[in-house]
Chains A and B, each alone.
Chain A
Amino acid sequence: MKAPTPNTLLARGLIVLLMALTLLPFLSMLSAALAPQGTYPNGLQWPADPQWSNFVKAFEVAKMDQLLLSSALIVLGVVPIAVLIATMAGYGLAKLTSQKYKWLYLIFVFGLTLPFEAVITPLYYEVRALGLLNTRFAIILPLIGLYMPFGVYWMRAHFLSVPHDLTEAAQLDGATRWKEFVLVQVPLARPAIMSLTILLFLWTWNQFLLPVVLVQDPMQRTMAGALGAFQGQWGTDVPLLCAGSLLILLPTVLLFLIFQRQFVAALMQGAVKG
């Protein structure tokens, strides 16, 4: 490593500034969350008497335990299935089909840039027709479909990088396609599957549009969706709102801090490939 030149010092200064800018809103929220309830706090100002009880209050008011459960149920409904069928389709498109079926892949890719808003209205009527409005399935089923373009694209790109010889070796070893998939391809795809899982988890947990449109009861929503309702209800009580928001973003932040390396890798690759 070379000694820091003025240029790298400048760069470090810039980065520290960016980090400060990134953290400021969180700090500002924290300081507001600790202000006495019902008051109107002032900017970033450490309160004389920090009211940690605001977090307890927010936890109770927002029924955070139920929210956590609801979000977890939705994630559990979406992510495993979406990852599994995206992996299967990625494998099918990469290894089992010839150039003739490129169009099928292109149809999947077409959905990559599709804004969810473009289909939200018909989704509402579709979900209503299925009788699923205001249930968690109203979020789970559409999300699985909406994740397919990225998931399939992602997994196909991975499977294309696996040497074809391995497939052929497995076939000669007597593996059916399914056995090859389960015993050879999926274990090899673990890094790609891991990244996809992280991304889909984040996107599901933070999903806002679908819960707001398709589910009335905040207790059946994702965390992010519930936050919308929480703001509607407590928007004027800044300390409580900030405390609630911090609580709601805490689970993903904690997971992120624990799996920092994997998250960063997944988010960067996810952007590059998406």
Chain B
Amino acid sequence: MSENTASVPGNQRPPVRLPPSRGSRKATMTAWLFIAPAAIAYAGFVLVPLGMSFYYSLLRWDGIGKARFHGLTNYVTVLTDADLLQIIGNAFQLVLYFTLIPVGLGLAVASAIRGHMAGRFGTATRTILFLPQVIPLVAAGIAWSWMFASTGLVNQTLKAVGLSSWARGWLGDFTWALPAVGIIGAWVLLGLCTMLLVTGITKIDASLYEAARLDGARPWHEFRYITLPGLRQEIGVCITVTVIAALASFDIVYISTQGGPGITTTVPGLEIYRLAFAHRQVGLASALAIVLMVLVLITIAPVQWFTRDKK
């Protein structure tokens, strides 16, 4: 992009120049004509459904018969029912795996390599690490279902190193199914986070590290006072992407465990689907959908706030 705009030099025009103002009615009309198609698509298939979601959430409705106004009862159910609370808790537990593992490992790699991954090695790394981003999540789910199966690679490895007692059907295990699902998500997001952080660290001025070393900084200090602050934006991006992926997960869980055993791996996305289309509790499903949306918003907002580039 920079090449394309190269003919316009960054001139020294004072920044006080006010934006052009041409507010004639005709100009406004033109603007609306350009925006209208997108606005209509967005309104028709996002805003209206969202409004309907909210409306349904106030109803008791099986999706076929007559709906009855139900007030906020559905919301009370979502926030008090033990199962639903556990389901919401599951989503937040997934955040731990989806977010901490990729960001932690990514940071480790980035601060160790601290430089460009140039040449063939760099290309190969990028290509391979991005593969999980390119394939459908469903495929990742199937691949890992096989990895975690009782005769799968995970157990095979454990047996090979003499930990046969640890071998189990991971995705059917009440304790281990959720962490296993978390590992799948971590695997999908690991490459993206690593590449983002590795790229981000190359933008930190190398002389900062040299200066710090002259000041007697230990590697830990360098990491704490230079790398982390320098990567604040990239870390924010990683956390945002991975947290949304965890809270709104559906594909992986649907394929690998279908929420089981019991409801140990059920997440809100799956529960919405099940409530609305299997149990015909459209009102409750919609209330859960609204709660999920709000949860994503209030989880992301502070991340955005802390990691925004403060100028």
Residues of A whose CB lies within 8 Å of any CB of B are: 1, 7-8, 10-12, 14-15, 18-19, 21-26, 28-29, 32, 40-45, 82, 84-86, 88-89, 91-93, 96-101, 104, 107-108, 111, 113-126, 141-142, 144-146, 148-149, 151-152, 158, 161-166, 168, 177, 181, 188, 191-192, 202, 205-206, 208-209, 212-213, 223-224, 227-228, 231, 238, 241-242, 245, 248-249, 252-253, 256-257, 260, 263-264, 267-268, 271-272, 274
A residues near B133, Cβ cutoff 8 Å: 202, 267
B112 touches A267 (CB 8 A): no
Minimum C-beta distance from A127 to chain B (A): 9
B residues near A209, Cβ cutoff 8 Å: 250-251, 269, 273
B190 touches A238 (CB 8 A): no
A212 to B250, CA, bound (A): 11
Given contacts A116-B248, A242-B142, A22 and B191 within 8 Å (CB-CB): yes
Minimum C-beta distance from B137 to chain A (A): 7
> What are 20 inter-chain pairs, A to B, with CB distance below 8 A?
A26-B131, A28-B152, A32-B146, A85-B37, A92-B34, A100-B23, A118-B289, A119-B45, A121-B276, A122-B52, A144-B45, A145-B46, A146-B46, A163-B8, A177-B34, A208-B136, A231-B142, A231-B255, A249-B136, A256-B127
**Which of under 10, 10 to 19, 20 to 34, or 35 or more describes the interface residues of B?**
35 or more
Given contacts A22-B128, A108-B42, A144-B45, A192 and B1 within 8 Å (CB-CB): yes
Minimum C-beta distance from B263 to chain A (A): 17
A residues near B63, Cβ cutoff 8 Å: 125
A residues near B254, Cβ cutoff 8 Å: 208, 212, 228
B127 touches A249 (CB 8 A): no
B285 touches A121 (CB 8 A): yes
A25 to B148, CA, bound (A): 10
B residues near A271, Cβ cutoff 8 Å: 192, 196, 237-238, 241
Q: Which of A92, A93, A118 contacts B293 (CB 8 A)?
A: A118
Residue of B5, B124, B146 with most partner-chain A CB within 10 A: B146
Q: Which of B19, B33, B152 contacts A43 (CB 8 A)?
A: B152
Q: Which of A121, A141, A212, A228 contacts B53 (CB 8 A)?
A: A121
A residues near B217, Cβ cutoff 8 Å: none
Q: Which of B35, B157, B194, B293 contacts A18 (CB 8 A)?
A: B194
B residues near A252, Cβ cutoff 8 Å: 134-136
Q: Kindly state whether residue B125 has any CB partner on chain A within 8 Å.
A: yes
Q: Kindly state whether residue B204 has any CB partner on chain A within 8 Å.
A: no
A8 touches B112 (CB 8 A): yes
- B290's nearest neighbour on chain A, judged by CB, is A118
Residue of A93, A121, A141 with most partner-chain B CB within 10 A: A121
A residues near B114, Cβ cutoff 8 Å: 7, 11
Q: Which 9 A-B pairs give the minimum distances between C-beta atoms?
A: A145-B45, A43-B156, A92-B34, A115-B248, A89-B38, A11-B112, A11-B113, A224-B136, A96-B31
A residues near B268, Cβ cutoff 8 Å: 117
B38 touches A227 (CB 8 A): no
A151 touches B1 (CB 8 A): no
- A181's nearest neighbour on chain B, judged by CB, is B34
Minimum C-beta distance from A270 to chain B (A): 9
Minimum C-beta distance from B92 to chain A (A): 14
A85 touches B38 (CB 8 A): yes
A89 touches B139 (CB 8 A): no
A192 to B136, CA, bound (A): 23
B35 touches A177 (CB 8 A): no
A239 to B31, CA, bound (A): 56
B134 touches A113 (CB 8 A): no
Q: Kindly state whether residue B208 has any CB partner on chain A within 8 Å.
A: no
B292 touches A91 (CB 8 A): no
Minimum C-beta distance from A143 to chain B (A): 8
Extra pairs beyond A44-B153, A264-B130 (10, CB < 8 Å): A15-B109, A118-B293, A177-B30, A206-B136, A208-B250, A224-B137, A227-B136, A241-B142, A267-B192, A271-B238
Minimum C-beta distance from A252 to chain B (A): 5
Q: Kindly state whether residue B115 has any CB partner on chain A within 8 Å.
A: yes
Residue of A146, A238, A252, A272 with most partner-chain B CB within 10 A: A272
Minimum C-beta distance from B294 to chain A (A): 9
B residues near A177, Cβ cutoff 8 Å: 30, 34
A117 to B293, CA, bound (A): 9
Minimum C-beta distance from B150 to chain A (A): 9
B5 touches A163 (CB 8 A): yes
- A147's nearest neighbour on chain B, judged by CB, is B41
B37 touches A12 (CB 8 A): no
Given contacts A23-B128, A161-B5, A88 and B38 within 8 Å (CB-CB): yes
